[in-house]
Each structure stands twice: as C-alpha cells, then as structure tokens.
Amino acid sequence: MFCPYVNSVYLFTYVKENKMKIIIAAVSGVATLGLLWIFFRPPFGENIVRLNTNQRVVALTFDDGPSPPYTDRLLDVLAKHNVKATFFMIGNRVQQYPETVRRVIAEGHQVGNHSYSHPVLGFLPAASVRREIERTDALLRQIGVKGEIVFRAPVLTRFLPVAWVLARQRRAHVSCNVWSWDWTTQNPDRITKTVLKKVKPGSIIVLHDGKGVYGNAKRLGTVEATDRIITALKREGYTFVRVSDVSH
C-alpha cells in the first residue's frame, strides 16, 4: 500500500546515505551533455549559414559533383539566365572529370572543396579530415582554381574534428539555410516549392549535381527545378552571387 510518509522517509534516507554518489552521477551527466554539445556544436570557428546581407541576394550552391551530364546541363541553365553559382566538388570526381571542372571555372563560377571521397567527416579523426581537405585543395589548384577555396563538409557535419581542422587553417565552413531536399526526390515541382517557400534575403541554397560517392545519380529534376527557381526569384527581384562575392 502506498504511504506518502513512509516513502518520503525512505527517499530522504536514501539521498542522505548516497549523497556523494548522486552528486557524482549528476556532475557526470552534465559533463557528458556538455561534451556532446561541444562535439556536435563546436563553440569556435566560423560556420556560414547565410550571406551577410539584407538585400534580395541569394547564393545557389551545388554539392557532390562534378557529375556529367548533369553538371553540364546545370551550367547551360545558369548561362541562359546569366547567373553565377558555387560548386562544392568531391576530389575523386574532380580527377575523373577535369574538363567539367575547367568549364565551371571558365564560365565564372566558384569552385569549393567538398572533401576527397565524401565520408562523414565529422566522425573521423582530425588527421583524416585534414587529408581529405588538403588532397582536394591540391587537385583544385592543379586544375586551375585560384583565390579562396571555400569548404563544405559532406552532409554538413561540422562536428568537432572538422571545426578543429578548419580553425587551424583559419578557414570557414559554408553551411546553408535553405535545403532543397533534392537528394530525396527528383520531382522538380517539389524541389522548386521547397526552395521558394524558404528563401529569404541572404539565403544560401543547397542543391546537388551529383550524389556523394554515387556520382551517376540522376539529377534531371534538379536541373529543371534550378531553371524554375531562378526564373521565380528573378521575378521577385532577387539577384544571384557566388558564396565569396558577399563578405561574411
């Protein structure tokens, strides 16, 4: 039978006899939560989520390429609208399709680093993170990329190892504030509506011209949606820039 008095006495006695254990458990719990927070949300380094502007300016970004023929078709769409974008490229695909990379550069777009092999960098040791970044940097330099090479981690996993390496390189991480979700659907209507619903001045929009290590993923829906997104946003008075065109 439940008796409030007896249970209260029991609880008081238990706490009194195990006070130190309870304190240690509480401190350990708080410390664990703190360490997890630091790991997943490092309190140092720069994470760019949006452009530093309140003007009707947005940045289109494309991840996981180069991936012919979809990168080339996206370049055709961008050229038709006279729009510049930023392409975050995977190193091993840069090696496979150097001519596509050269076309991206020649047409005035920005080329960024998206790791060498598209692992989930946030769960790798710092040394492995550094190798993934530096190997792709070297490939991009060899192929003709000049100036700043912006970086975005695969799956946007800017966890502690990634933030640590980037901070030591005095380098920002480019994230986003508009997800297209085009890796879950290639329905151009859905992609377009998803993006247009979320866009605000200064938005960084993420789309994909490839699919991680599976570079032959079809991206026709993304190509069509990009055409529609540009048309709709221009109608609303938006202009388009590369990530580094607006100071952050």
CA distance 157 to 11: 44
Work out the pLDDT band at 101, boundaries 50, 70, 90: very high
Going by C-beta distance under 8 Å and a sequence separation of 6 or more, which residues neighbour residue 237? 56
Active-site option among 72, 208, 209, 227: 208
Q: Which of 52, 108, 105, 57 is nearest to 84 (CA)?
A: 108
Q: Which of 69, 144, 158, 68 is nearest to 115 (CA)?
A: 158
Over the stretch 45-81, which tens digit does the pLDDT of each residue have? Answer: 799 999 999 999 999 999 999 999 999 999 999 999 9
**Which two structure tokens, joined as six digits, stand for 36?**
């997890």
Residue 175 has pLDDT above 80, yes or no: yes
Q: Which of 125, 109, 129 is nearest to 117 (CA)?
A: 129
126-143 vs 98-106: helix crossing angle, rounded to 10: 70
The DSSP call for residue 165 is H
CATH level 3 topology of 47-245: TIM Barrel (3.20.20)
Q: Would you call 245 a catalytic residue per the annotation?
A: no
Q: Would you call 208 a catalytic residue per the annotation?
A: yes
Over the stretch 181-199, which tens digit does the pLDDT of each residue have? Answer: 999 999 999 999 999 999 9
Cα first-last separation, the chain: 65
Over the stretch 15-54, which tens digit does the pLDDT of each residue have? Answer: 566 666 545 545 455 444 443 344 446 665 799 999 999 9
Mean of all residue pLDDT scores within the chain: 87
Active-site option among 63, 137, 182, 227: 63
Beta bridge partners of 116: none
CA distance 76 to 227: 10
Does residue 83 contact residue 107 with C-beta atoms inside 8 Å?
A: no
Peptide bond into 154 cis (omega under 30): no
CA distance 142 to 225: 32
Domain ranges for the chain: 4-40, 47-245
